[in-house]
Amino acid sequence: MWSTVPMSQDGACPGDLVPQDVKCPRVQLGQEFPRVAFRGHIRSLPKLMEITRPSLASHGNHKENSPFLNSSEAGKGGDYYDRNLALFEEELDIRPKVSSLLGKLVNYTNLTQGVKEHEEAESTDGSKKKVSKSPSMGTLMGVYLPCMQNIFGVILFLRLTWMVGMAGVLQSFLIVLLCCCCTMLTTISMSAIATNGVVPAGGSYFMISRSLGPEFGGAVGLCFYLGTTFAGAMYILGAIEILLTYIVPQAAIFHPSDAHDASSAMLNNMRVYGTVFLILMAVVVFVGVKYVNKFASLFLACVVISILSIYAGAIKSIFDPPEFPICMLGNRTLSRDQFDVCAKTVVKDNMTVASKLWELFCHSTNLTTEHCDEYFLMNNVSEIAGIPGAASGILIDNLWSNYLEKGEILERAHQPSVDVAGQKNNLHLYVLSDITTSFMVLVGIFFPSVTGIMAGSNRSGDLKDAQKSIPVGTILAIVTTSLVYFSCVLLFGACIEGVVLRDKFGDAVNRNLVVGTLSWPSPWVIVIGSFFSTCGAGLQSLTGAPRLLQAIAKDNIIPFLWIFGHGKANGEPTWALLLTALIAELGILIASLDMVAPILSMFFLMCYLFVNLACAVQTLLRTPNWRPRFKYYHWALSFLGMSICLALMFISSWYYALVAMLIAGMIYKYIEYQGAEKEWGDGIRGLSLSAARYALLRLEEGPPHTKNWRPQLLVLLKLDEDLHVKYPRLLTFASQLKAGKGLTIIGSVIQGNFLETYGEAQAAEQTIKNMMEIEKVKGFCQVVVANKVREGIAHLIQSCGLGGMKHNTVVLGWPYGWRQSEDPRSWKTFIGTVRCTTAAHLALLVPKNVSFYPSNHERYNEGNIDVWWIVHDGGMLMLLPFLLKQHKVWRKCKMRIFTVAQMDDNSIQMKKDLATFLYQLRIEAEVEVVEMHNSDISAYTYERTLMMEQRSQMLRQMRLTKTEREREAQLVKDRHSIARLESLYSDEEDEADPVPENIQMTWTKEKCDAEKRNRGSAVGSFRDLITIKPNQSNVRRMHTAVKLNEVIVNRSHDARLVLLNMPGPPKNTDGDENYMEFLEVLTEGLERVLLVRGGGREVITIYS
């Protein structure tokens, strides 16, 4: 990438590499070029003697958003173009040289969140830029140890022994196996995603959002954020439990008023101390993350030492088990912290006196039994070893589960006892179960102890080789922690008595931490170590969660979170930290570790589920960019991991699972509703493309059945000179007809040369898209540039759509003002389009007086939609009013259907048949048959036809005059003439060939005589107009139009909308102008008319 070649003494560059006036910079011998980050690797460029690049300064460490060169750099001809690339020099501003591209990419820097991006503060003030610190962490320090620290946590020390006691060794193995398989499969998926290109800081959120799109990314990112925040609350609650239960119980503020109030007092203490701890930790995080990171190794050391002490204690218990006796009354376990001697009586001064235990059960210091608890009298007090040791064979007793209901006394299965009822007011003397336990409850409580696998990916910006370190380090961490959990389950079951295992708070062993009783050399090793490790984990959560929220806010996919993207000058997320502390306070107020753990389990499981989904989707789609360096993944493993995540969610707590999914769904729909304008090349877009391709190929198998037919619209829009939509109500009508369903394509034609008017076409397309958004038309836009408008329309009709998703109906605007215009191109384009649609077997809708059509905000509370069914053309006339009535504008209108009866028709029978037909179609409408018996042609009809033909003949003659020819030439010459304004459906016709503005003629005698003859014939033609006789065919057509118009106006003059069959254009093109006149006469006096022409196939059926 960097070349070293000799230089001349004056510093000029050799040869033809750069222009002669450019000096090449020197790098002194032995000078080290700054390190730069390239795709996660650290490359230190060699010590260079001399460098030929003239723009070395621009390849330093300044911030570059895009690896491509901008246009300003392209302007520096001497610095930029090489003679060897002269063939490409005109495009070098958008297609840079490979060397320039690599020079930009090599400066890609990947800093962790919370650090100033590329030292922005230094670069903006013009001072010299600092060289950013290169990522340098390896697999051990960057991934393995952080994952270990995050995975090992409060559950291992406070709840694992209790879980083994309740579930038994076998079911505990199953719980650990389920949770570890979930995280291992998720790690495999995460490794594939993490090694598929550069993963910036942001970790799991970045991976999911860039793989599944902004909607999923935002939803899962916020779930992961909430999970991390509640994890902080859980760690704080764990630290407070250790503090108040095992270290300084005297520090409790609230004390139980009676024996049964102990639980609520403890919860209140947790709330107060938890809030204080939360505030202190938030202040520490606010002051500086560096202090948290400095103590991270200390906290990890506490975890490692604590675990090692458990193994040491288990080994020691084989030959020298620790002394932790348990006092049993019958088979019931007594709470040891309320008495010292485990006996009913004691010998004091050679006298047998009542012990403290007797006083508690009999409420007397005398050895009287009248007030004693019956169970106390009938059963013996015995003392057994709490830690029998690994060689005792206690493992057999602990293999099976022993789930308890809330308030149930802990009993030893094989201990002899007399089963009699005791006094309820003495229950506080026994060790009780504080919650109802089951396999599902234990899964929810244990799962947080396997989370933390994202710690490596979250630090990807600090890693020397992220694509290698993340998979290796994370998988090794999971294997290590899984082995520790499995071995701990086995050791606890083999070394500790069952009733002690089921004793959550160590009441039976004198309020000692149960796992601490097994440790060596002292229980305090575990107590102190677990306290500091939980505090450290809480600090890590409060450090990581705000940065995650800041990353989501900076992506700007959830608008109301924008405030949390800001922070202190150095990038620290102050506002995000405040919100995190407030949410964590909610977890603190719950105050129960066992209730908070399932909540964060849900959020983490949701996150892991989508990581697996992302990997599976990308693998199955086989997108070209899916090229992970980590090869040991498979879509089946990802689906298995996803299934386990989903199963664990509902196993641990089905209602929490529903709530978590509801939250994620609401966030997803919110981002979708806001319209996330992010294109990250995500897998969901790829999935959409694959699904669309599959659906299109299925549609291609054959034409749709009549039952599935619906109008797929191609709306031909007219634009004015400023590229504004001339008749936006066409779009309104389309949206009302579609009601948001089916395909809608908005097409328009711009006249001109494509190379010259491409920008104009782009602007027109954007204008139409904006208008579509205003009118709420969901569809596509296509603007075609053509030399002739008629050709452009023909291209649209032929080529719009794709495969089976093609339009079957064309919506065409009426050519207003065609009578007043002497230019025939407007109506000729209209009739040409009608012929094109007929030839293509497409339906045609022509809304006349479209400006009077209702907007989407109007409501018709009454009125009729009248259908004039004159000829049958596939049932379009029946279907269209039904579809319009689905929209709120037309919903309350009634439908009336009129049909015409001739002389030889039975109108009564027609009405009955039509009513039956509509009943079978399931369409509610009034039916009316109109009789048209009078077939005599009136004088008005004859006169109207005569006027029409005279006008046509006159215009035809006028077009041949010299004046009109010169005007035509002027219109062609002027680009901004009225021909452009007249209509985009106008065309450059062949009737009048353009002539030059100045006509140079050499007159001869023959030419002069011919010119006189032409003028004479023109005058004669004008005289012939007076004596013209109308064509009988035109008279008949005019008669039909007049008679039908009379009947329609008479019956439907107050209708909200009139639909009637549109007659086809004449086969002989000479009668085109007369055809326009017939349509005008047919629709005169009607406010809103929709002319309908079928496509030649049935679109409605009576069959189900």
Write a three-state SS string for 1079-1097: HHHHHCCCCCEEEEECCCC
Residue 645, pLDDT > 90, answer yes
Cα–Cα separations (whole angstroms), residue 110 to 105, 351, 413, 604, 661: 12, 81, 60, 26, 33
User: Using CA of residue 301, residue 307, residue 308, residue 309, what is the dihedral sign?
Assistant: positive
Residue 565, pLDDT > 60, answer yes
User: In the prediction, which pLDDT does 653 show?
Assistant: 85
Can you tell me the distance from the alpha carbon of 588 to that of 582, in angstroms, rounded to the nearest whole number?
10
11-34 pLDDT per residue, tens = 444 444 444 444 444 444 444 444
Cβ-based neighbours of 760, under 8 Å, separated by 6 or more: 723, 750, 752, 785
Q: Higher confidence at residue 822 or residue 988?
A: 822
User: In the prediction, which pLDDT does 122 show?
Assistant: 35
User: In the prediction, which pLDDT does 496 show?
Assistant: 92
Residue 535, pLDDT > 70, answer yes
In the chain, the amino acid numbered 28 is Q
User: In the prediction, which pLDDT does 133 show?
Assistant: 54
For 87-119, give one letter per residue: b (16+ CB within 10 A) or e.
eeeeebbeebbeebebbbebbebbbbbbbeebb
In the block, tokens 């039509």 appear at 914
User: In the prediction, which pLDDT does 239 show?
Assistant: 92
Q: Are 596 and 233 in contact (CB under 8 A)?
A: yes
Q: Are 153 and 489 in contact (CB under 8 A)?
A: no
Q: Are 864 and 1055 in contact (CB under 8 A)?
A: yes
Cα–Cα separations (whole angstroms), residue 636 to 161, 619, 622: 35, 10, 14
What DSSP element (H or E) covers 332?
strand 332-333
Instruction: Give the dihedral of Cα atoms 655, 659, 664, 667; nearest 10 deg.
Output: 160
Residue 173, pLDDT > 80, answer yes
Confidence band for 756, pLDDT divided at 50, 70 and 90: confident
What DSSP element (H or E) covers 440?
helix 439-446
What would the DSSP string read from start to end of 637-679?
Answer: HHHHHHHHHHHHHHHH-HHHHHHHHHHHHHHHHHHHHHT----
254-269 pLDDT per residue, tens = 887 765 667 788 889 9
Burial of residue 793 (number of CB atoms within 10 Å: 0-12, 13-18, 19+): buried
User: In the prediction, which pLDDT does 798 show?
Assistant: 87
Is the bond leading into 521 cis (omega within 30 degrees of zero)?
yes
Residue 892, pLDDT > 60, answer yes
Closest by CA to 158, choosing from 534, 508, 425, 437, is 534
Coil/strand/helix, residue 486: helix
Residue 750, pLDDT > 80, answer yes
Can you tell me the distance from the alpha carbon of 866 to that of 899, in angstroms, rounded to the nearest whole number?
11
Q: Are 889 and 860 in contact (CB under 8 A)?
A: yes
Closest by CA to 1093, choosing from 1063, 1050, 1055, 1056, is 1063
Pairing mode of beta strands 843-848, 1089-1093: antiparallel
In the chain, the amino acid numbered 360 is L
Q: How many CA atoms lie within 13 A of 223 on its CB side?
A: 33
339-359 mean pLDDT = 85
Q: What share of the chain is helix, strand, coil (3-state, %, to 5)?
A: 55, 10, 35
Confidence band for 149, pLDDT divided at 50, 70 and 90: confident
Residue 929, pLDDT > 50, answer yes
User: Using CA of residue 920, residue 923, residue 929, residue 932, what is the dihedral sign?
Assistant: negative
Cβ-based neighbours of 636, under 8 Å, separated by 6 or more: none
User: In the prediction, which pLDDT does 19 show?
Assistant: 42
In the block, tokens 């118009």 appear at 1045
Q: How many CB atoms lie within 10 A of CB 901?
A: 17
Tokens of 64: 């570059």
Give the pTM: 0.67
71-121 pLDDT per residue, tens = 444 444 444 444 455 545 555 565 565 556 555 555 433 333 333 333 343
Can you tell me the distance from the alpha carbon of 515 to that of 386, in angstroms, rounded to the nearest whole number?
11
Q: Higher confidence at residue 493 or residue 207?
A: 493
672-687 mean pLDDT = 64
Greatest Cα pair distance, the chain, in angstroms, is 165
Residue 981: DSSP 8-state:
H
Burial of residue 487 (number of CB atoms within 10 Å: 0-12, 13-18, 19+): middle
433-445 mean pLDDT = 91
Q: Higher confidence at residue 200 or residue 566?
A: 566
What DSSP element (H or E) covers 174?
helix 160-194
Of the candidate ranges 195-204, 571-580, 1007-1016, the one whose mean pLDDT is the lowest: 1007-1016
Confidence band for 975, pLDDT divided at 50, 70 and 90: very low
Residue 214, pLDDT > 90, answer no
User: In the prediction, which pLDDT does 103 show?
Assistant: 58
Can you tell me the distance from the alpha carbon of 783 to that of 984, in angstroms, rounded to the nearest whole number?
12
Cβ-based neighbours of 653, under 8 Å, separated by 6 or more: 440, 444, 598, 601, 602
User: In the prediction, which pLDDT does 934 show?
Assistant: 63
Confidence band for 483, pLDDT divided at 50, 70 and 90: very high
413-440 mean pLDDT = 84
Across the chain, what does the average pLDDT equal?
Answer: 76
Residue 46: DSSP 8-state:
P
Can you tell me the distance from the alpha carbon of 97 to that of 103, in angstroms, rounded to the nearest whole number?
10
What DSSP element (H or E) covers 635?
helix 635-652
Cβ-based neighbours of 115, under 8 Å, separated by 6 or more: 570, 571
Closest by CA to 789, choosing from 987, 989, 993, is 987
Confidence band for 1029, pLDDT divided at 50, 70 and 90: low
676-685 mean pLDDT = 60
Closest by CA to 700, choosing from 802, 821, 604, 833, is 802
Q: Are 914 and 899 in contact (CB under 8 A)?
A: yes
Of the candidate ranges 274-278, 920-924, 1095-1099, the one whose mean pLDDT is the lowest: 1095-1099
Pairing mode of beta strands 41-43, 325-329: unpaired
Q: Higher confidence at residue 680 or residue 308?
A: 308
Residue 698, pLDDT > 90, answer no
Closest by CA to 750, choosing from 720, 780, 715, is 720
Residue 971, pLDDT > 50, answer yes
116-137 pLDDT per residue, tens = 333 343 344 444 444 445 666 7
User: In the prediction, which pLDDT does 989 show?
Assistant: 41
266-289 mean pLDDT = 89
Residue 1046, pLDDT > 60, answer yes
498-526 mean pLDDT = 89
User: In the prediction, which pLDDT does 527 show?
Assistant: 92
User: In the prediction, which pLDDT does 110 show?
Assistant: 34
User: In the prediction, which pLDDT does 579 show?
Assistant: 92
Confidence band for 56, pLDDT divided at 50, 70 and 90: very low
Tokens of 394: 């206690």
Of the candidate ranges 206-220, 748-762, 1054-1068, the one whose mean pLDDT is the lowest: 206-220
Q: How many CB atoms lie within 10 A of CB 969?
A: 17
Tokens of 587: 């977890």
Closest by CA to 472, choosing from 198, 195, 199, is 195
User: In the prediction, which pLDDT does 82 show?
Assistant: 46
Q: Higher confidence at residue 1038 or residue 191?
A: 191
804-820 pLDDT per residue, tens = 778 888 998 888 877 66
User: In the prediction, which pLDDT does 144 show?
Assistant: 87
End-to-end CA distance of the chain: 70
User: In the prediction, which pLDDT does 1083 show?
Assistant: 82
User: In the prediction, which pLDDT does 41 show?
Assistant: 41
Tokens of 778: 């969901």
Q: Are 562 and 178 in contact (CB under 8 A)?
A: no
Q: Are 1072 and 956 in contact (CB under 8 A)?
A: no
User: In the prediction, which pLDDT does 90 show?
Assistant: 54
Q: Higher confidence at residue 236 or residue 944?
A: 236
Confidence band for 469, pLDDT divided at 50, 70 and 90: confident
User: In the prediction, which pLDDT does 997 show?
Assistant: 44
As a whole-number percent, the residues of the chain with pLDDT over 90 amount to 15
Task: Give the phi and the psi of residue 51 in degrees, each rounded to 5.
Answer: -125, 135
User: Using CA of residue 415, residue 420, residue 426, residue 427, what is the dihedral sign?
Assistant: positive
Of the candidate ranges 849-858, 975-984, 1023-1032, the one whose mean pLDDT is the lowest: 975-984
Closest by CA to 957, choosing from 982, 983, 991, 994, is 991
As a whole-number percent, the residues of the chain with pLDDT over 70 amount to 72
HEC profile for 90-141?
HHCCCCCCHHHHHHHHCCCCCCCCCCCHHHHHHHHCCCCCCCCCCCCECHHH
